[in-house]
Amino acid sequence: MIRLSVDAEHPAPRVIAAAADVICRGGLVAFPTETVYGLGADALSEAAVRRIFAAKGRPAYNPIIAHVGSVDHAHTLVVRWSELADRLAAAFWPGPLTLVLPRAPHVPLSLTAGRHTVAVRMPSHPVALALIHAAERPIAAPSANRFTALSPTTADHVERGLGDHVAMILDGGATHVGIESTVVDLSGDEPVLLRPGTLSRMEIERTLGVPLGEPSPVGHAEEARRSPGMIERHYAPRARVVLVDSSAVRIAIKIERATHRVGALIINADASGAASVVQLAADPRGYAQALYASLHTLDEDNCTVIVVERPPQASEWAGVNDRLRRASHQPSGGAS
């Protein structure tokens, strides 16, 4: 594995060219986007996409986002680009918004979990855009971590999580959004919010001029998902996450510390008794930016339980609350 430092705002062409060469030869490159670090491969190569699944231990029913360098680039991956897609792309691209649209025939089915839709996004991070343009192809890039594990927001997180499963890591420092993109499905009769993020439902609905629908329930555990991020247990640190109201944080710590090293992630709650405490911002974007890095820190401090003060339930916190709910999920049949 090769790790190269790269200026986040003005990436050196020689570094980007080296990474693009790996992509073009079918290899895997971890690189920063504005959301989290992605594990990139040639999105139009069946073999390269399968390498992503193998490196992550990702099941075939979980699709991958194709990252593009322009709206015109996105057009090449779909058979129908709607007026609603135009509105959202004009308002939020480049940025942390993914659109699900009917897939073009040449897009590998492995990328789309066998579905006839494809998820596309134009990232805003200069390194990500430079890499896409240098490779001259869309780049498939889920988060650069093992399946269901905590997403990486630094190159160190990538290296600890994937190690030699990746040919190259571009170290562009910490990401600034901190959680994965919002996903909107535009392939059907009504737009549907599949995954919340830092873009709020209100912002998206205002731009669309129509309300967003809710996704239909998954029929069975291995049903192909319409989007990444729809697995019940996801975004999880090694430690068990206990999500409680502010008034219950101290009680939860007292109960858990009898048998565990307890960390706490709080906004304003009393975390007395915890071995390690991280206090996050009281605004949703600041909280999101630091969320994964803070959970990584508590993992690295050998906490086996993390008590998390439940954030506000307002709509602008939906992305954060979604990630915490999935991180704290305890499936009845073991880890997914």
Give the pLDDT of the chain (336 residues) as one tens digit per residue: 899 999 999 999 999 999 999 999 999 999 999 999 999 999 999 999 999 999 999 999 999 999 999 999 999 999 999 999 999 999 999 999 999 999 999 999 999 999 999 999 999 999 999 999 999 999 999 999 999 899 999 999 999 999 889 999 999 999 999 999 999 999 999 999 999 999 999 999 999 999 999 887 765 667 788 878 777 777 889 999 999 999 999 999 999 999 999 999 999 999 999 999 999 999 999 999 999 999 999 999 999 999 999 999 999 999 999 999 999 984 433 332
> What is the C-alpha to C-alpha distance for residues 75 and 281, in angstroms, rounded to an integer?
38
Instruction: Indicate whether 175 and 251 sit together in one domain.
Output: no
Read off the CATH number of the domain in which 29 is found.
Answer: 3.90.870.10
Which pLDDT score, from 0 to 100, does residue 219 have?
59
Instruction: Indicate whether 27 and 118 sit together in one domain.
Output: yes
* Final residue in a domain of this structure, among 166, 186, 208: 208
> What is the C-alpha to C-alpha distance for residues 254 and 326, in angstroms, rounded to an integer?
24
Which pLDDT score, from 0 to 100, does residue 155 have?
98
Residue 132 lies in a domain: yes
Which pLDDT score, from 0 to 100, does residue 266 have?
98
Residue 335 lies in a domain: no
Read off the CATH number of the domain in which 300 is found.
Answer: 3.40.50.11030
> What is the C-alpha to C-alpha distance for residues 263 and 143, in angstroms, rounded to an integer?
25
Parent domain of 289: 240-327
Instruction: Indicate whether 21 and 123 sit together in one domain.
Output: yes
> What is the total count of domains within the chain?
2
Which pLDDT score, from 0 to 100, does residue 331 have?
42
> What is the C-alpha to C-alpha distance for residues 321 and 280, in angstroms, rounded to an integer?
14
pTM: 0.94
Half-sphere exposure of 106 (CA within 13 A, CB side): 9
Which pLDDT score, from 0 to 100, does residue 220 have?
65
Residue 183 lies in a domain: yes
Which pLDDT score, from 0 to 100, does residue 38 have?
98
Which pLDDT score, from 0 to 100, does residue 332 have?
33
Instruction: Indicate whether 196 and 316 sit together in one domain.
Output: no
Which pLDDT score, from 0 to 100, does residue 334 have?
33
